[in-house]
Amino acid sequence: MAKILKNATQKAGIRKNVTPHTLRHSFATHLLEQGTDLRYIQELLGHNSSKTTEIYTHVLKKAIGNIKNPADDFVK
């Protein structure tokens, strides 16, 4: 898997070091950002404990902090 991933990143011109763990983490993070239920992500990743899967929620909390309130455009 690591060799296939390395070849794919080279072909794509990605210079950053990408590991299978990086790919897994990105997959889970994108699912969470798209609104996929954490329990489904837990099942897909094969985690026995929901606590293990909850590490991905920190990304969502950061994203929530960047949401702009549309009402702020009317108050000046």
Encoded tokens for 27 = 């997959």
Domain locations in the chain?
17-66
pLDDT in tens, 25-74: 888 888 888 888 989 999 999 999 888 888 877 766 666 666 777 777 77
Burial degree of 41 (CB within 10 A; 0-12, 13-18, 19+): buried
Please say if the pLDDT value at position 75 is more than 70.
no
Output the pLDDT for position 63.
66
The pTM of the whole model exceeds 0.85: no
